[in-house]
Chain A
Amino acid sequence: DGGITQSPKYLFRKEGQNVTLSCEQNLNHDAMYWYRQDPGQGLRLIYYSQIVNDFQKGDIAEGYSVSREKKESFPLTVTSAQKNPTAFYLCASSSGIGPQETQYFGPGTRLLVL
């Protein structure tokens, strides 16, 4: 059963704490993406990765970090520098080929600050 999995579904962060959101895909896609979704603001791109061991900042990368050590995994760390981390985080992947490629989204992780 191919797809994208994100864990956990809900995550609670204390002040000053770093937390890591997991994203795994078994679609054999090259490209992976992280988005942040806030009410009324649509989805905003945090980071994306075209290939293993390389990634690029998106529009709102400050306070976040990523790694891409394996093709199927693209974890996102929300650092203590991110002052307003409460949001719904979505991971996506795509084949990365051609203008008509589709991005497939995972079910999301909702991050809340205690």
Chain B
Amino acid sequence: QQQVKQSPQSLIVQKGGISIINCAYENTAFDYFPWYQQFPGKGPALLIAIRPDVSEKKEGRFTISFNKSAKQFSLHIMDSQPGDSATYFCAASMTGWGSARQLTFGSGTQLTVLP
């Protein structure tokens, strides 16, 4: 199975709060886990990504926590700002045909940060 399950579907937090989005996967062939941020009417943009041999990766206010044994990973946004209001997608990557990488996306989380 190549499904990636993401929750919650929507999230509302106050400015300065912590936003947490969770994802789970089944296929152990996935070997790279990126998060994408998408603003309305735009294409997704890579936010942060992690390898499965790393338990945590931090870039500024964004942190990925990865639990390989549980096949779960999460995105934490510290000190959330109104400008962070967007849809966030987790994804899982594996090698497809030839050497092309295939991304399987979660269903997305619409984050709203209240001022």
Contacts and interface: CB of A to CB of B under 8 A. Distances in A.
Interface residues of A, number: 32
Contacts of B89: 42-43
Interface stretch (B42-50, B66-74, B78-86): B42-50
Interface in B35-61: 36, 41-46, 49, 51
B101 A42 contact: no
Nearest to B94: A99
A27 to B, nearest CB: 14
A106 B34 contact: no
A48 B98 CA distance: 11
A105 B31 contact: no
A82 to B, nearest CB: 20
A74 B88 CA distance: 26
A14 B34 CA distance: 37
A45 interface: yes
Interface string A1-41: 00010000000000000000000000000010101000011
A21 B76 CA distance: 36
Nearest to B42: A107
Contacts, number: 74
A94 interface: yes
Contact of B101 (A31, A49, A58, A107): A31
A45 B32 contact: no
Nearest to A41: B107
Nearest to B99: A96
B101 A56 contact: no
Contacts of B97: 48, 50, 56
B43 A42 contact: no
Interface of B: 2, 6, 9, 31-32, 34, 36, 41-46, 49, 51, 89, 93, 95-108
16 contacts: A35-B105, A42-B108, A43-B89, A45-B104, A48-B100, A48-B102, A49-B100, A56-B97, A96-B101, A99-B31, A99-B32, A99-B95, A100-B32, A103-B103, A107-B41, A108-B43
Q: Which 5 A-B pairs have the closest CB atoms?
A: A105-B43, A42-B105, A50-B100, A50-B98, A43-B105
